[in-house]
Amino acid sequence: MRNVTLRALHFFALILLGLLPAPLLALDHDNLDPNRPIGMEDAYAIPKGEIGMEGGVRFNDRREGRTRVTFQPQIIYGAFDNAQIEIQGDLFTEPNSLVGASKSGDLHLGLLYNFNTETLALPAMALRVETDLPTGVNSRGVDTQVTGILTRSFGRLRAHLNAGYTVLGLPKGQERPGAYRAVAAVSYPLGYPDSFRDTLIASLYTRESDLRGQRNHTGVEVGIRHQLTSRLVVDAGLGTEFAGPADRAAVLGTVGLSVGF
């Protein structure tokens, strides 16, 4: 299954590169995508015609159970004005023990559409629709997720709200058939106006557990994105869950790289 996902990622990359316009475009460290470097995003899509290839390693040191590591290859394409499409195929250690929507090797397809740019009266608003195809280990059924995203500026500080709901296609055993997730976050450009190469992000989140009868996972994360060049951004994040089931995260961490074409 893993080979199927990797072949799909490679095929999709070739398609996107064939659609790429001649000039190379810049990548913006202030444009926040999920898990780059923490589990939240802003309401803005990448510019039309731009391609971003992103990769990261995320670890979850659980209070009970072994530390889980996730490899996160992703491709993002600005397909239309205010819209981006995404393809991803996360790979987990201990793939046979996973519960919930995320399965190792599942082919993830997503669409983010910004339907309102921020004005004096209204925040920026976006809608994300995602589908996970059962190409992974012990995966069955098509899972879907819908997320609403708001971003509002207060001077140089930006506030973000994400609220989403995931529906499992074929839940097994004690898995929930659906689960919600909510994130409140702020981001701030460090060094501005003398320098504009770093963005600091902090969030507070809660999500329903994957299994019935367990408490919500609730935690905090802090991350930073650093612009190395006009086409290269590195990121790192750290967090913890202070409430939740027995196997909740003691320490969460992410290190990643984004390349723009």
Determine the average pLDDT of the residues in 151-172.
95
CB 151 within 8 A of CB 127: no
> Between 182 and 11, where is the model more confident?
182
The residue behind tokens 């390693």 is: 57
pLDDT at residue number 7? 52
Instruction: Map out the domains of the chain as residue ranges.
Output: 2-260
Torsion on CA atoms 249, 71, 134, 32, rounded to nearest 10: 80
Residue 27 pLDDT > 90: no
pLDDT at residue number 50? 92
Model confidence band, residue 30 (pLDDT cutoffs 50, 70, 90): confident
- Percent with pLDDT over 90 in the chain: 73
Residue 97 pLDDT > 80: no
> Per residue in 245-256, pLDDT tens?
999 999 999 999
CB 76 within 8 A of CB 84: yes
Does the domain made of 2-260 have the CATH classification 1.10.10.10?
A: no
> Per residue in 44-91, pLDDT tens?
999 999 999 999 999 999 999 889 999 999 999 999 999 999 999 999
Mean pLDDT of the chain, nearest integer: 88
State pTM to two decimals.
0.87
pLDDT at residue number 96? 80
> Per residue in 212-244, pLDDT tens?
999 999 999 999 999 999 899 999 999 999 999
pLDDT at residue number 12? 43
pLDDT at residue number 48? 93
